[in-house]
Structure 1
């Protein structure tokens, strides 16, 4: 039963990245059912609940406090001195002095976003608990890569067929570019970029296992090629499909963030190889891999290259919005305007310099500060920093380090792209990111042991596996 919650990985991108509130509430129910089922299974088996590494525990508590603050922002009549003056003005205009105000400008929207945060925390907890078993780690990652393959294939099919649709709906924006089942091309570029990283991590993991084997170099190379051309063809194929998909979205920062994260993953992985012939052979194979990526860029990168050139010629309207967001933050630096209230709050500050419609801030950092204030926003930033640092720490101490490096690379990609876009406001992107970022972090040992060795210390009965 609890395995149903992991179908979120497969289906969350399908209904327009699950951006509508109805999907957020559905996923909250699925996650809650998954948590209850897990607890019940452990109780029935007579086993204690598994622990959570303290860095991840602190990160989860920080995010829970932010969700709690969101609920408080939506409580009527709470902290009257901190409420936005617009509520007093509304009561005066309506002639109703009993009208209660809120900390949030849009309390209903704030409650919806707070529910999202709680579902993200619960989903992350399920990933960490299930990832204590190595076979679940591999299963969840393969599910994610398979889902990426499906959405990339769908997006490429629609793009090359000339259709301007998302499922059976006509596109209302971003016509002529690839968006798969997403409305926004930048959000899909982030999602597909995570697919590139996940597939690359699988390829590198097998490549390392081949390089450290006690066999001749010719045998290693032959076995690696045979695997890629037989049972191991899917990860590199998905990686190439997702890479082409990112190029065809035309997302400038989506491509940049993905390339930076991929380079970090490749460089950190190569450095960890044994010195000598193994590292040399690994570097040669990485050169072949990068050659494939360059070849795909030559074939499909004209759209993105053209958009980069127009950035310097015509500018970008979002850079006119950032100073206004800073002005809004300066007026309510401690309480913010309410989770998810950017659109309503920005109307109070926009001027004639902004001609386009902005319902999101195109900078998740500034928008977060604007929504919840500096104290709560710093909790979010600290939670992400803890995840990144913990993943980097584990990648330096483990013998099977690809999954931890995948977490580092995924967090890097998200952090870069969030500086100019709002992909992390798409539930599909968040669930995908949490899945691959937490899979390799469920075990923590002070010694230099692999995740497999640590997992063997906490074996559970067969019926407690992912089902």
Structure 2
């Protein structure tokens, strides 16, 4: 592997590992720093050769980027290319104010450009993940970087939470969720789904260790343990400790949605991984049932706070459903280009109903997909959802066809699906520190869904070198 590629791989893993640390990297400064570092990492992978599958993935990403740039232009331009009518609020404000207000599609001028930071960071993380992910060593190194950093945050978060639960890592005062673990994020729901993602990776590492020593004859616990030597037992114990630490941190967040979806993803991942070891007819169903029982046992043993919140609050709260209905009205009023990316906080008060508590400010829809539709329009959210479903199909193909390193596409499939599902009830994918991790895993998983190359730039795989097309 050429030294620029090696350094880029380390830089990429460092960014993915450190992005959650500064309170989820929420804010323009953190996004700018990660964008610069990821841009440097992308420049460093220029010597690598791209296969046709990688070029196709990057081409789809380029088309999505072009669509986003087009929407940004149409929302903010004084003269939109497609002649879209400006928001009526500009005309109403012009009647009340003596100054002339140039109309625009968005009600918050230039806000779509200011809100593009998360998208830029995720695009760069995804692109570097696609390029580096074709190398199995780099792809597995990415998974280990996510798992180890998540374990470090979990241990540090648990210790500091026991000392002072009202502060994040003893450095930053909490404004909410004082009785729950949120470190390194501000929101406990994002922390829960992040720790669930890290626990999922540790679980798959452990499953892989067990699989390597699985008896070729009839399975029994005694025969399996006899085949696992002492070094393998130490590795398996390390994976188990990492899994349990991340699980404990996840349960301490008290997030119902984050915990439930993470446990579901873990059960599905474990069942899929061992599907070939189960009886053909009812093997997958049996594995899912066993995994479900284990998840329920863990919820009872470690998730007392989560269970109590399920008992007292239930599965949902009325405030979110009222906000969803208000967001649907926002989409209905401006279906094609929305009200402007990042403008939900300014548009929502006009649609807020009386059955929503007046306490607090709803600056998020608590459903990233509805918010994307209200801010960016139905066209954008439709294309993004179709592309994401296609990515899931490619990852499922990789899980079904790969024999070696199947944990890379499997971890990407389950973690990204869990993130997408969780974003239907919260806004985890809008938090840069978590979204960068999912984008990197998704890119590497898509690359590993096809035939892996033995190395970088070795000439053994058909492809083209980045930046040398001709």
The answer to whether TM tops 0.5 is yes
- In 1, the alpha carbon distance for the partners of 2:197 and 2:444 equals 14
* Alpha-carbon shift at residue 147 of structure 1 (Å): 0.4
In the alignment, which residue of structure 1 is the partner of 2:176? 173
Does structure 1 conserve the Cα–Cα contact (< 8 Å) formed by 2:118 and 2:431? Answer: no
- In 2, the alpha carbon distance for the partners of 1:437 and 1:207 equals 25
Residue number among 406, 419, 425 corresponding to 2:424 in the alignment? 419
In the alignment, which residue of structure 2 is the partner of 1:235? 239
Does structure 2 conserve the Cα–Cα contact (< 8 Å) formed by 1:204 and 1:402? Answer: no
- In 1, the alpha carbon distance for the partners of 2:213 and 2:233 equals 15
- In 1, the alpha carbon distance for the partners of 2:317 and 2:449 equals 46
Does structure 1 conserve the Cα–Cα contact (< 8 Å) formed by 2:129 and 2:441? Answer: no
Give the direction of change, closer, same or farther, for the CA distance of 1:188–1:67 in structure 2 (3 Å limit): same
Does structure 1 conserve the Cα–Cα contact (< 8 Å) formed by 2:202 and 2:239? Answer: yes
Residue number among 15, 36, 59 corresponding to 2:22 in the alignment? 15
- In 2, the alpha carbon distance for the partners of 1:322 and 1:334 equals 18
Give the direction of change, closer, same or farther, for the CA distance of 1:330–1:389 in structure 2 (3 Å limit): same
- In 1, the alpha carbon distance for the partners of 2:144 and 2:125 equals 18
1:280-359 equivalent positions in 2, closer than 5 A:
296-312=298-314, 315-355=317-357, 356=359, 357-359=361-363
Residue number among 23, 27, 38 corresponding to 1:31 in the alignment? 38
In the alignment, which residue of structure 1 is the partner of 2:3? none
* Alpha-carbon shift at residue 334 of structure 1 (Å): 0.6
- In 2, the alpha carbon distance for the partners of 1:151 and 1:115 equals 24
Give the direction of change, closer, same or farther, for the CA distance of 1:131–1:213 in structure 2 (3 Å limit): farther
Does structure 1 conserve the Cα–Cα contact (< 8 Å) formed by 2:366 and 2:427? Answer: yes
Q: Which moves more between the two structures, 4-13 or 223-232?
A: 223-232
What whole-Å deviation, never above 9, does each CA across 1:162-212 have from its counterpart, x for those lacking one? 431013121111001011111100011111111111111211222222216
The answer on 1:397 being equivalent to 2:394 is no
- In 2, the alpha carbon distance for the partners of 1:31 and 1:104 equals 30
* Alpha-carbon shift at residue 145 of structure 1 (Å): 0.6
* Alpha-carbon shift at residue 25 of structure 1 (Å): 1.4
In the alignment, which residue of structure 2 is the partner of 1:258? 262
Give the direction of change, closer, same or farther, for the CA distance of 1:379–1:124 in structure 2 (3 Å limit): same
Give the direction of change, closer, same or farther, for the CA distance of 1:225–1:195 in structure 2 (3 Å limit): farther
In the alignment, which residue of structure 1 is the partner of 2:370? 366
Does structure 1 conserve the Cα–Cα contact (< 8 Å) formed by 2:182 and 2:253? Answer: yes
What whole-Å deviation, never above 9, does each CA across 1:380-401 have from its counterpart, x for those lacking one? 1112111111100111111132
In the alignment, which residue of structure 2 is the partner of 1:456? 454
Consecutive unaligned residues of structure 2, counting only runs of 5 or more, are: 1-6, 460-464, 466-470
In the alignment, which residue of structure 2 is the partner of 1:119? 121
What whole-Å deviation, never above 9, does each CA across 1:229-284 have from its counterpart, x for those lacking one? 423433221211111112111111111111211111122122233759xx89x969
The answer on 1:91 being equivalent to 2:97 is no
* Alpha-carbon shift at residue 413 of structure 1 (Å): 0.9
Does structure 2 conserve the Cα–Cα contact (< 8 Å) formed by 1:158 and 1:164? Answer: no
- In 2, the alpha carbon distance for the partners of 1:135 and 1:71 equals 38
In the alignment, which residue of structure 1 is the partner of 2:133? 131
- In 1, the alpha carbon distance for the partners of 2:447 and 2:314 equals 44
* Alpha-carbon shift at residue 10 of structure 1 (Å): 1.5
Q: Which moves more between the two structures, 121-130 or 350-359?
A: 350-359
- In 1, the alpha carbon distance for the partners of 2:382 and 2:259 equals 27
Equivalent position SS for 2:350: coil
Consecutive unaligned residues of structure 1, counting only runs of 5 or more, are: 446-450
- In 2, the alpha carbon distance for the partners of 1:160 and 1:297 equals 20
* Alpha-carbon shift at residue 316 of structure 1 (Å): 3.4
CA RMSD after TM alignment: 3.0
Aligned residues: 443
Residue number among 214, 221, 241 corresponding to 1:211 in the alignment? 214
